[in-house]
Chain A
Amino acid sequence: MNESLRQLWDYLGSDAAWSGRNGLPALTWAHVQISLASVLVAAVVAIPPAAWLGHVRRGGFLAVSVVNIGRAIPSYALMALLLPLSLRYGFGLGFWPTVAALVLLAIPPIFTNTYTGVRDVPEDAVEAARGMGMRSGQLMRRVEVPVALPLIITGLRVSTVQVVATATLGALVGYRDLGTPIVTGFTSGEKGGLLAGAITVAALALLTDGLFALAERRLVPWRSPLGRAADVAVIPEEAPALISTANPTGKGQTR
């Protein structure tokens, strides 16, 4: 360990660690960029259909399947599969295979949480809104989505933390981010950059989680009727065969 720590110290003392496109600031920025891009695309793709399905209260099976399938496909395998295709069709190394895999990784939690959140908006609130003369579109925009917001944010939180963590693997298909010094360390045996990259990316993932926790508190000061948002991060636990059994989140059991 001492040897590794000494290499880390040396690395942190070198110019290479702090400047240029392989320096930690540039790598961190690249990491943040690709993560944000992936989550944004996933949110745009996943939220509207999920909110609509929740609104019409259909597609529960789809919501569960999306999560189960998403979980079974490993991101590393997906990136590796996309790389030769990306090269062949002129999209090149790195960015595109990574973004595509990250978007697919980010969709399931956002989709399921949005769907469940909108579907479980209390019947009274929906009835009241209809009684006030709201049409479907208004109802969704002004009642259902705001009430479901805590859950939607939880979905975004789960997705973003996973994406930040998994973007590291992009280095294996040639995207230059905080995974790069880790992968270089694996092949060269140089532990300084490896440890610096690993610690930075772990800190970034935890920071992301912390920022979302803060945002949840700021953006959703009211208590959701759906219960504490953080509890519902485990919704996907409901697999098709288990729908009729106890829900591991405890959600719904108290009613």
Chain B
Amino acid sequence: MTAGLLGGVLAADEPFVRWDWVSDHTDEIVEALWQHVQLTVVAVAIGFALALAMALVVTRWRWTFGPLAGFAAVVYAIPSLALFGVLVAMPAFGLGFRTAEVALVSYTLLILLRNIVAGLDGVPPATREAADGMGFERWRRLTAVDLPLAAPVIIAGLRIATVTTVGLVTVAGLVSAGGFGELITDGLGRNFSTPIVVGAVGSVVLAVAFDLAFVVAERLLTPWARVRVRRP
């Protein structure tokens, strides 16, 4: 109607989910799943690399935290559809994977930067001094002491960033980047609820799967956290 993306009114006898459509389109659904995973993983990986670099700058020059976090917060407040819209309007981007990634990466920065900085801040000064005393150089202390100790908080940030990104990728379907969003957009366009249900359920299941994967990863990466002193 207004949008020009919506189809006619759903027929009254149309079932909410047509299982035969699902079984006929498994290839398409698996492809959407794969694209969705790709879009998410690439965005979080690039976002993590950028946020880590920003966090290292912050640990060195503390005053940069305000401006960097402020910038990330402003980006975070921009509606995804608006950001996609502006990017699509630029000749350098247009429709597709790259446009989607630029927007998705931008949205991961705030959460990741805040958590990496909070994680590094949480490393006990005594531990740090002990590492310095043992002759660890800056880089070695970072990789062998600071980052492992900050891992739980960093992974918490990665979990949130990843789950949020899985949700945002559904909107990326509008810029023809693929993923479950394209199934949803397709369903809306034809007023056919089955692909909408498949796309919605698919992205929720994927978000939960990523979340669980991080829980497992955290247990594996921080074996010491499992050994706890029992409190009386």
Contact = CB atoms under 8 A, between A and B. Distances in A.
Contacts of B133: none
Contacts of A195: 85-86, 89
A168 B153 contact: no
B164 interface: yes
Closest 6 CB pairs of A and B: A74-B167, A77-B200, A198-B82, A165-B79, A72-B207, A245-B152
A143 B91 CA distance: 57
A161 B77 CA distance: 7
A99 interface: no
Interface string B156-167: 110110011011
A188 B164 contact: no
Contacts of A174: 1-3, 6
B3 A248 contact: no
17 contacts: A1-B91, A71-B163, A74-B166, A74-B167, A74-B170, A77-B180, A88-B12, A93-B6, A168-B81, A183-B5, A186-B174, A188-B4, A202-B82, A205-B78, A246-B122, A248-B157, A249-B118
Given A1-B90, A87-B9, A195-B89, A234 B114 contact: yes
Interface in B66-116: 74, 77-83, 85-86, 88-92, 114-115
A202 B5 CA distance: 22
Most B CB within 10 A of own CB, among A71, A166, A180, A244: A71
Contacts of B197: 81
Given A174-B1, A174-B6, A182-B85, A250 B187 contact: no
A83 interface: yes
Interface string B175-209: 10000110011011001010011011001100110
B168 A74 contact: yes
Contacts of A161: 77
B142 interface: no
B85 A185 contact: yes
A74 B203 contact: yes
A242 B90 CA distance: 42
B160 A182 contact: no
Contacts of B156: 237-239, 242, 245, 248
Given A194-B88, A239-B211, 6 more contacts: A93-B6, A165-B77, A198-B79, A201-B81, A206-B74, A246-B152
Nearest to B77: A205
B157 A237 contact: yes
Interface string A226-253: 0000000010111101101110111001
Given A74-B166, A171-B2, A205-B79, A197 B85 contact: yes
Contacts of A201: 79, 81-82
B47 interface: no
A224 interface: no
A179 interface: yes
Contacts of B225: 244-245
Contact of A75 (B16, B167, B218): B167
